[in-house]
Amino acid sequence: MVPELVLAINPGSTSTKLAVFRGEEKLFGKSLSHTVAELAPFPRVVDQRDFRFRCILAFLQENSFDPKELSAVVGRGGLLPPLESGTYEVNDAMLDYLQTTLTEHASNLGAGLARDVAAIRGVPALIVDPVVVDELADEARITGIPDIPRVSIFHALNHKARARQAASQLGKRYEECNLIVIHLGGGISVGAHRHGRVVDVNNALNGDGPFAPERAGSLPTWALLEWAHKQQTDMGTLRKKLTGQGGIVAHLALNDMRKVEELVDQGDAKVTAIYRAMAYNVAKWIGAMAVVLEGKVDAIVYTGGIAYDRRFVSWIREKTDFLAPALVLPGEDEMTALCQGALRVLRGEEPAKEWRITGGNL
């Protein structure tokens, strides 16, 4: 059988990452950069769709690749309402929602761009595991204030891909495993994967959980309220404090973790103390997820960019290795993860799910 040809599309705020795969083999790829001047004419992110589509076609032409050869096109899923993990076929309802939502995010372009390229030959247009994947157990949603339930927003694409990789190394199917997966990046998410479902996870987008390079993490509630009142902080400023200017950035005015590692190497006591505190916080959340899984944990999986830092991972493992074996799978290959989701559908390993705006996604 001839391996499937898949184009993966991952839109960023000022870039469009592209990769063409033959089966699991990456043939070629590139991150297209878009200048501020190029994007300035578009009032909303979704208005950039036609511009980016033309950039994609130019990229394929530069690589002498005919889009009519594709078996499928897969895009990064956007900020849809909560949905179950899986690969979804892009339909009109999904595109209508992404076109009209008031939530601005570059990933909202992924589905439309996939549809545009796929339409050239009439092949499937798909999205895989957007950040809004929600498989929380009912008890995980309940908080002490009925009007403030917990929600699931995390690095779902990388979580799921690395969880499958870990399960394979264990000689099992993902659906047979209990795993704790930790994505260590600009935000940190710690998820309890029970038999193929993420039944509990911190809201990494909005800064819940352990503090991270750019996230404040869970904070003492009363002190936060008093601080916000004293500062007379507006909501926009407060959100930035929690989700872009918190964590390592707040303590050290740094968001380049390589520089943080260098300062630790040089013996900087303050930097070391803050960095170790972040590891301590991650370890506490791993312990909490072990409780969620009732201590039945096949492996603790470390992934994301900071997982390359062996010393940081070792600080966490000092406190958590007694719970389960550790698997360190650093980095995140979102393009491969997108392709793998498309291949599972093309090969009949799982069906493409239908997206509906009400009641049909969970």
CA dist., res. 54 & res. 38, Å (int):
13
pLDDT of the residue at 236: 85
- Residue-wise pLDDT for 225-261, tens only, equals 999 889 888 888 888 889 889 999 999 999 899 999 9
- Domains observed in the chain: 5-134+335-354 (3.30.420.40), 156-331 (3.30.420.40)
Q: Which two tokens stand for residue 93?
A: 């309802």
State whether residue 183 is helix, strand or coil: strand
The count of C-alpha atoms lying within 13 angstroms of the C-alpha of 207, restricted to the half-sphere facing its C-beta, is 18
Q: Quick one: how far is CA 129 from the chain centroid?
A: 8
Is residue 55 a contact partner of residue 32, using CB atoms and an 8 Å limit?
A: yes
* Residue 43 burial by Cβ neighbours in a 10 Å radius (0-12, 13-18, 19+): exposed
Q: Whole-prediction pTM value?
A: 0.89
Residue with structure tokens 């590692």?
261
pLDDT of the residue at 358: 62
| Mean pLDDT (whole number) for 108-117 | 97
- Residue-wise pLDDT for 146-183, tens only, equals 999 999 999 999 999 999 999 999 999 999 999 999 99
CA dist., res. 317 & res. 312, Å (int):
9
> Where does the pLDDT of residue 102 fall: very low under 50, low under 70, confident under 90, or very high at 90 and above?
confident
Check residues 216 and 13 and name the one with the higher pLDDT.
216
The percentage of residues in the chain with a pLDDT greater than 70, rounded to a whole number, is: 98
CA dist., res. 220 & res. 211, Å (int):
12
Residue 360 has pLDDT above 60, yes or no: no
CA dist., res. 196 & res. 236, Å (int):
36
Residue 2 has pLDDT above 80, yes or no: no
SS3 of 71-91: the string is CEEEEECCCCCCECCCEEECC
